[in-house]
Amino acid sequence: MKKLKIIFAGTEYFSAEHLKMLIDSSQSIVSVITKPDLPSGRGQKITFSPVKKMSIKKHIPVLQPSNLHDKIFRETLLKLHADIMIVVSYGKIIPKEILTMFPKGCINVHASLLPRWRGPTPIQSSILYGDKKTGISIIKMNEKVDAGNILHSIECNISLKDTSQSLSYKLMKIGVQALSDVLTKISQDIIIEKKQNEKYAILSKKIYKKDGLLNWNSKAIKLERLIRAFNPWPVCHFIINNKIIKVWEAEVIFSSKPNLKIGEILFFNKHGIQINTSDKILNIQKLQFPGKKIMDVKNIFFSKNNFFRIGMII
């Protein structure tokens, strides 16, 4: 396979695994673009993205533009004489003047079966809406969000226990192989492009921390999906006595108690905290108190913690 001179754009761990594949396959990566460093955590310390950490370790030049329209930045890219740009979970929209800069174009590894779940949260959305399958789509990028021609796609089943984290690992594994296959075809000029069917296009929405607040007026099945979709971020929660209690795992109990109030605790035992919703019962199995580790509810029950009690409205 003819080596391609590549510029790689990415930020998250999902991106870093694709970059690792390119490095291990001895591709010629002339530069990496990642988002600017930001403060994080309680101490607000500056942290490097997973992609930047790997690039430094492998001695690959790193670019972190705050403005992709900047003329000096574009000139820097041109001087690299790259054949292609690969974008994986970068987190910024690439302007048209960059998309048209490379002889082989710009391609994007996207974590859904496009045109379903375009946009920033495809993995979370597929869980939230109860999809049975998702996948990886590799597209030729254009100026519209995730709307370019499809170069390759591969399916992945979603289990009833999948969280965004576990599903991300599944997709990462098949995405790495899909990208390798596509690059082989591009280098041999045998790639085939397929237009997306706009009739089936759905845009995923950006997620905020406040979206993780559990509303017991929702159906239990919706809340259970929300908990899995928001694991590991932003993590679902409810509030008692001004304390934010994070919920990491739950299940639906398919029975109803019409005489209970919405949000009332039906049982608190070794099996979990069973809460009445607008439809069915949500049984919380793992939670986290502020400043504490994630705990099984059975351990809280056996510790005789009276924080929760039957009949309590939360």
Residue 282 counted as an annotated binding residue = no
What's the N-to-C CA distance of the chain in angstroms?
Answer: 61
- Using CB atoms within 10 Å of the CB of residue 45, give its burial: 0 to 12 exposed, 13 to 18 middle, 19+ buried: exposed
Residue 135 token pair = 């996948």
Distance CA 314, CA 295 (A): 19
Residue 61 counted as an annotated binding residue = no
Rg (CA), the chain: 23
Residue 112 counted as an annotated binding residue = yes
- CA torsion sign for 63, 14, 294, 133 is positive
Q: What is the 3-state secondary structure (H, E, C) of 238-291?
A: EEECCEEEEEEEEEEECCCCCCCCCCEEEEEECCEEEEECCECEEEEEEEECCC
* Interior/surface letters 234-261, b for 16+ CB within 10 angstroms, e for the rest: bbbbbeeeeeebbbbbbbbbeeeeeebe
Residue 122 counted as an annotated binding residue = no
Binding residues for (6S)-5,6,7,8-tetrahydrofolate, as ranges, are 112-115
Binding residues, as ranges, are 112-115
